[in-house]
Structure 1
Amino acid sequence: MSPRRLLLAATLAAALAGAPDLASAKTILVPVTLVGGVPVPCGAERLGTCHNRWHFALHPVATAEPGDTLVFQTRDALDNQFNRTSTAATVAAANLNRVHPLTGPVFVKGAKPGDVLAVTIEKIEPGPDRFGYTVIVPGFGFLRDVFPNPAIVRWDLDSSGAVSRDMPGVRVPMNGFTGTIGVALGPGETRVAFQREEQLRLAGGFVLPPEPHDAVPVGICGVGGSFAGGPTPCLRTIPPRENGGNMDVKQMIAGTTLLFPCFVDGCLLSTGDVHFAQGDGEVSGTAIEMNAVVTVRVDVRKGRAALGFRLPEIEGKKIPGLLKKLEPNRFLATTGIPLKPSGNRTPQEFTDGTLASLSNVAEDVTLAARDALLNMIDLLTGPRSPAPTRLSPEQAYILSSVAVDLRISNLVDVPNFLVTAILPLDVFQGGKDDDD
């Protein structure tokens, strides 16, 4: 028998041996402390169920068996620094060190390095406050050079969608998913991730390095914590990595199964940063952010990481047509190619400046996406806007972040790769169609 067949046979045997006993499966609540229906700040969580950094030394807050159901109560992406009375000034004063308070981690029995943790999303529900927000944070977001000022749209959430007095005539349907969900990296993987990100930062790349201030848990990740620095420090949650994390994949809805390679015993699963809705791209830097209740089922696929799992994968095999609900009934799309004003450098341009004098850049999908998005914002703010009332540039940018899907349309037609920005017209209540 070939080595590959031997590996497959061994993997199948291990998987059968580790198959969950569904008859004995249980439901485990991973709670947060609520005051008036709103979670207390992560750093004030007395239950010890919150962390806002990734690290292998985090202590499990619960233990699950394969086949168990986990119910996570979660905080919004910015740790409830905003509410229905917040303003642009509140956004400007936000403490970004508190980003991504996560609930967990949960130790899954039987999971070992080399295994794959299968996490099936069963239900996503808004938290009891039924409040969401989308913000523009200065210095962050895809068009941070175009939108340097803070802004906020405050949403009221219910089963029919999200509406806001800050965005009249718009209703965004709920397509909830976990913006951030993942497992712990091991010591070796943590060292590699830190080294490569530090090299990029020193070369001028946009990287958020380890930050002990406001880190939770303090004893491990905070100032003076055991892993506040060194070669394997606590890592920020902003970038996705091999462990998953802040993936922001809007297709990770209820019914999908997320597959994470395990790097430590128990895998150590955490989640948070749940989105009521998001466009593909999350271009302003935020979706419709909310507190939430996330219900998942966990299983272990023994030895599967040895078959080539390098990064998380997403399955949608069990429910036919699962993603059709994410597709618009009616839409309007703009396109973009890699064009820019001559002499202009975008925030994403990571070169020595030799491209600055060009107005057309070859094979640049990021610049094409930027062009498509700028064209969409121009459409939404101009006389041809399908919105009931013409939107401000900030409103158009925020609407694009929560509802417009950026799609790669071609990566071969050199020099101009093309990206499409797709706007679902059903988000407008009483809007107009442009038949010109």
Structure 2
Amino acid sequence: MTREVVSHRDGHVYEFGPEMDPVYEAADGESLTIETVDSLNGEIREEGDLLDAIPEEVNAATGPIAVAGASPGDVLAVEIEDVRVAEDRGRVLTAPGFGLLQDDPDIDHPATRITEVEGGGADGSGGDAAGTIDFEGIDVPIEPVIGTIGVATDEETVSTLTPDDHGGNLDTTDVTGGTTVYFPVFQSGAMLAMGDAKAAMADGEMCGTGAEIATEIDVTLSVIEDPAVSPDRPLLDTGDAVKTLASAETMEEAVELANGDMLDLLTHHHGFSRTEAYLFSSLVGGLEISQVVDPQVTARNAVPSDHLSLPF
């Protein structure tokens, strides 16, 4: 079955807001291929290309894509089937005033390293395996991540550089092939957009970037009506674990939100009181850092699928 392709050339956004005009309307249950450009729109091609400041328009997110039937109060399920790199190089870099160690005098700001793709087909070899990227002669496995993915917001307009309850710049390594991401729907059609992908990225995204790269992403979009538990923020099902995602100004706030959201799921699944869910989360849950460099930080709380399934 041929998939419709939605490309960044068809349309992309630099903000998620309550009023968004779709570039495509998908049917409930439709499978698509989404083409994304790297977070810097191809401006960084060589190691001599430096980023003197974070651009006003960054992290172009392909879309928005309206999903027929999605209404406020529903949940949008985004099943990520595959993420493929679509160019022969990535780029990892620093910029002044950005990143975890932005004030370290021994680290160059700005700095750029081009990460050439080896194997995996994007370099023209025609291989099926994911391949590697080269960093200073070291092979790093390609494990693609979608950095920015989200839906129309409830009220505020939010830059694609910033994560929040609608998703956005979550920079979470689990947002990759094999994971289903669930978003609360705030506006009719949901208005999904995504981009800012990386060929490889560590939890934390310490320098402020992964290996930024263009990608092709296969997804299936489904609307869940009348969910038994209505999420306030994105949720992940990796197949091995259920994970709550939360973004806030501080890591303490983010992990409190992520843990609180997990308690909602545990009380529903097990019939626990909230106290029992809190105690149980401290036995089987695991707090994880997604990123520490964006205008808000993002954390997740993971519970193995043996102990929890999502109520939709």
When the two structures are superposed, what TM-score results if normalisation uses the length of structure 2? 0.70
Report sequence identity in percent.
31
Question: Partner residue of 1:261?
Answer: 184
Deviation at 1:66, TM superposition (A): 1.5
Deviation at 1:138, TM superposition (A): 1.0
Q: Does 1:113 align with 2:62?
A: no
1:185 to 133, 153, 160: 153
- 1:331-342 aligned at under 5 Å gives the runs none
- 1:155-174 aligned at under 5 Å gives the runs 155-157=115-117, 158-159=119-120, 160-164=131-135, 167-168=136-137, 170-174=138-142
Contact 2:184 2:230 in 1 (8 A): no
1:278 to 188, 191, 201: 201
Deviations 1:109-157 (A, max 9, x none): 0110000000010111111x32100001111001111135211110111
Deviation at 1:279, TM superposition (A): 0.6
Counterpart-to-counterpart distance in 2, 1:321 and 1:163: 31
1:91 to 50, 55, 64: 50
RMSD: 2.7
Q: Does 1:69 align with 2:31?
A: yes
**Corresponding residue SS for 1:113:** coil
Gaps of 5+ in 1: 1-24, 34-46, 191-233, 323-348, 351-362, 367-405, 409-436
Question: Partner residue of 1:338?
Answer: none
Deviations 1:192-229 (A, max 9, x none): xxxxxxxxxxxxxxxxxxxxxxxxxxxxxxxxxxxxxx
Question: Partner residue of 2:232?
Answer: 310
Gaps of 5+ in 2: 121-130, 243-248, 255-286, 290-312
Amino acid at match of 2:215: A
Counterpart-to-counterpart distance in 2, 1:161 and 1:245: 27
Deviation at 1:98, TM superposition (A): 2.0
Deviation at 1:182, TM superposition (A): 0.6
Question: Partner residue of 2:7?
Answer: 31
Deviation at 1:174, TM superposition (A): 1.1
Counterpart-to-counterpart distance in 2, 1:245 and 1:118: 15
Question: Partner residue of 1:384?
Answer: none
Q: Which has the larger radius of gyration?
A: 1
Amino acid at match of 2:32: L
Question: Partner residue of 1:248?
Answer: 171
Closer/same/farther in 2, CA of residues 132 and 109 from structure 1, 3 Å limit: same
Counterpart-to-counterpart distance in 2, 1:365 and 1:182: 21
1:134 to 62, 72, 92: 92
Closer/same/farther in 2, CA of residues 53 and 280 from structure 1, 3 Å limit: same
**Corresponding residue SS for 2:15:** coil
Closer/same/farther in 2, CA of residues 132 and 184 from structure 1, 3 Å limit: same
| Larger helix share, 1 or 2 | 1
- 1:368-407 aligned at under 5 Å gives the runs none
Question: Partner residue of 1:296?
Answer: 219
**Corresponding residue SS for 1:289:** coil
Deviation at 1:307, TM superposition (A): 2.0
Counterpart-to-counterpart distance in 2, 1:105 and 1:298: 13
| Larger strand share, 1 or 2 | 2
Deviation >4 Å, runs of 4+ = 363-366
Deviation at 1:365, TM superposition (A): 11
Question: Partner residue of 1:434?
Answer: none
Contact 1:92 1:150 in 2 (8 A): yes
Question: Partner residue of 1:101?
Answer: 60
Question: In the comparison of the two structures, how many residue pairs are matched?
Answer: 238
Deviation at 1:57, TM superposition (A): 2.1
Question: Partner residue of 1:145?
Answer: 103
Deviation at 1:247, TM superposition (A): 0.6
Closer/same/farther in 2, CA of residues 181 and 141 from structure 1, 3 Å limit: same
Deviation at 1:364, TM superposition (A): 8.5
1:60 to 22, 26, 42: 22
